[in-house]
Structure 1
């Protein structure tokens, strides 16, 4: 029988599952609402939806490389304990293989793709892991990077993936050199590769702030401009990778280190788990005591 929008809405109201999941469940059960509910439960989707309003701001970053293609992505969960779970690690590995091979254009597209040929979708695979692990899990973001045969990927996962960095180094295919840059990016967190990438609007805004600061300090106006340019150089050192002192050798700039290796930095991406997300604040002691009292 034909599945109507009204039927899909009814199933969504009863299970909290997504529209496409409900539509598929109704198609598989020939429009039988009760059987469709069971179908969703068996797939772990209803259980997953019950956890949909939980805060999942912990998790891990992960990097998968396949030849000249690499992906850096972030998967979130509710507690950092889960990231040490073998099931969670397997989830990361499976998602990494899929993303680097299929190279979807967005998270939304990735979630609808089949994970293995005619099998379950990526979202269904994540849902089945939610049912097994017992926490909300979500693929938050990913980025695909490409390199040439004479270039190198730099891969670095800090503290088991709390920070993940993927760099692309051109003109030098030594992965260790590229990893050195990735480690620097993880530690210092630059926003740009070079000064050229900083917009003129941002530079002008920073210049005005520095000028006001200097004047407020009572500095003579005729030397303020020179002071501002000096402080602007400090600003570039803070935000631009190539202008920074290299963490493994602070006596030289990153640009000097890269040049000494006959290379140039094409790109870098840095993910820090949960950045920009509202994190749940728990009192762990109270939580444990509440379990003991049960």
Structure 2
């Protein structure tokens, strides 16, 4: 497969690797971007890359909690300017409240909002505001106590990141703190048991290859048994600690894990969701100077 400059650029931006290293990684993996990221990591030339770090879109996430249920809704707009618009924020607020009575995103689209379906309300707003908007996704949690947190709030109950946490027990304060923690650390899953096995298997393959290559070039190679029974398991333990909510060090008190903080407070975290504006949406990079020149020329 031909390796293009754009592919090299994308890999460099997502991993922080040098140009030649990025090009070699793509060449070695026949242009497979994910495999190239893993190749760079086995060589110690890149950190674990998250696709969300490379994507962006505008809009807002709205959150609402009622009783033992919480919802988070993402509504996208073309520009951040519109996301700051009072009419757009009113739209997001209305849709979010309507979501409390909907089971999923498809049900939400048909839910009544001021005499029209949510879908029709969005269409009408597009005509008024003059910019394309999308009701992109909805997530929810249920539990004995549900807390919410909005990061980079644009208005009450909406911002760039929305988090919901469900716990058993009535300590809403610790639930709110854990929600703030999740906003900051973006764990992959609640616990090891909830992690995608494919993700774990991929990480194991990367760490195994990396450990073997490091040992092969070491001035004092370690016995293979040490690699297999100590080094690789140790690195996987660290991966699980860093990427599961229960295993992470609690932002409010790094001396303990989130699991311990919850236990100390007498609660059990049963579910969480974290919704950030633009996750998974590739946003076209605009050359602002060229855009202005084109506008002036027109």
Relative to the length of structure 1, the TM-score reads 0.72
Q: 1:228 to 1:129 in 2, by over 3 A?
A: same
Deviation at 1:275, TM superposition (A): 0.9
Number of aligned pairs?
231
Residue correspondence of structure 1 range 250-269 to structure 2 within 5 A: 250-269=254-273
Q: Deviations over 1:197-217 (max 9, x none)?
A: 235555444334322222211
Give secondary structure in 2 for the equivalent of 1:103. coil
Take 2:282 and 2:204, find their aligned partners in 1: how far apart are those partners? Answer: 32
- Conserved 8 A contact 2:58-2:78: yes
Q: C-alpha offsets along residues 104-128 of structure 1, whole Å, 9 cap, x if unaligned?
A: 33x2332233324xx2221111111
The 1-side partners of 2:93 and 2:102 are apart by 15
Match of 2:184 among 179, 184, 187: 187
- Kindly state the Cα deviation for residue 290 of structure 1 after the two structures are TM-superposed: 4.8
Quick check: 1:184–1:247 contact (8 Å CA) kept in 2? yes
Does the 8 Å contact 2:141/2:272 carry over to 1? no
Q: Which structure 2 residues correspond to residues 93-172 of structure 1 after superposition, within 5 A?
A: 93-100=93-100, 102-105=101-104, 107-116=105-114, 119-148=115-144, 151=145, 153-160=146-153, 161-171=159-169
Cα root mean square deviation, aligned: 2.1
CA distance in 2, matches of 1:168, 1:85: 31
Q: State whether residues 103 and 144 of structure 1, in contact with CA within 8 Å, keep that contact through their aligned partners in structure 2.
A: no
Distance between the aligned counterparts of 1:262 and 1:165, measured in 2? Answer: 21
Answering whether residue 262 of structure 2 is matched by residue 221 of structure 1, we say: no
- Cα contact 1:75–1:139 (8 A) shared by 2: yes
**1:129 shift after superposition:** 0.9
**Per-residue deviation, residues 251-271 of structure 1 (Å, max 9, x unmatched):** 211111111101111111011
Q: Secondary structure at the match of 1:162?
A: strand
Tell me: CA distance 1:231–1:64, structure 2 relative to 1, closer, same or farther (3 Å).
Answer: same
Please give the alpha-carbon distance, in whole angstroms, between the structure 2 residues aligned to 1:95 and 1:84: 16
Which structure 2 segments of 5+ residues have no match? 1-55, 154-158, 216-221
Q: List alignment gaps of at least 5 residues for structure 1.
A: 1-55
Query: Which of structures 1 and 2 has the bigger CA Rg?
Result: 1
